[in-house]
Amino acid sequence: MTWNEVNDGIVITLPEDFDREANLGYLTREKNECMYTIVDDVITKVIAIGEIRSLVQINIMNNKQMNVDFLNDSRPIEKWKREEIVNYIHEWFDLNNDLTPFFEMAQTDPLLKMPTQNFYGLRVIGIPDLFEALCWGVLGQQINLTFAYSLKRQFVEKYGDSVEWNGKKYWVFPSYEQIAQLTPNDLADIKMTVKKSEYIIGIAKLMANGALSREQLMNMSFKDAEKNLLKIRGIGPWTANYALMRCLRFQTAFPIDDVGLINSIKLLRNMDRKPTKDEIVELSCPWKNWESYATFYLWRVLY
């Protein structure tokens, strides 16, 4: 992890297989995103480290480095907190992962060849906060993406806190400590089902009482982490694998029943029907240990 401080900002060195257009293209695909803004290719986002709220602007220069500037006098005084911000950005963009073997494998894979050529240098954009990742997984169950983003915005703007700069609010995802205090009734005016409200509050309570944490899951094998998540009410195989992929960074995470994955395979293979699960298992054999990246690139074909 190479970074240094220049004046009051931070410069992060990027891996060779990072592409600015591919990553910004992914981040700007949904206009109703509420966790960051992108204007003139500059990302503005609040990064929360404990109680500290740092409003940062990230500028990607020539695919070589990220320049991180602090706005609103929000640069943490302690170096370890600035280091945590660097860690967050590394996690967000999966910068510590060498993708060379993935791209080599994808060159000869009939399904991945085209997506990896079109979106070369895209990383699996992460959700470093476990509560946010699980909430997003639950919110997205059995609804379209546009509606899911609308629910997320309602949830964040009702229960998250924010930093104001230049007349605009930049949001922080609600904390599990806060959501653990709520009842489904409190979430009634957000247009999610009562069941989803119960699931999200239940997850928050597990995290608040220490029964569930990112650190615990990171110290487990993939199978054990998946098993632990599947025990939680409201988390099925899709949501578990979604969090394992985008938050916990298990490269073998594979939401095999995902509608987007199925539709992407159907499109790329020019099929007049959906591929069966057995067919997907067979097609994915060459992706071993890169299932999460293969899924992300196939999603990108559609979204």
Identify whether the C-beta of residue 45 lies closer than 8 Å to the C-beta of residue 58: yes
Distance CA 276, CA 291 (A): 17
Buried b (16+ CB within 10 A) or exposed e, 29-63: eeeeebbbeeeeeebbbbbbbeeebbbbbbebeeb
Active-site residue, 41 included: no
Tell me which residue has tokens 């694998």: 241
Identify whether the C-beta of residue 194 lies closer than 8 Å to the C-beta of residue 203: no
Distance CA 201, CA 234 (A): 10
Residue type, 166: N
**Beta carbons within 8 Å of 8's beta carbon, 6+ residues apart:** 69, 70, 75
- Catalytic one of 94, 109, 129, 258: 258
Identify whether the C-beta of residue 276 lies closer than 8 Å to the C-beta of residue 248: no
Active site residues: 258
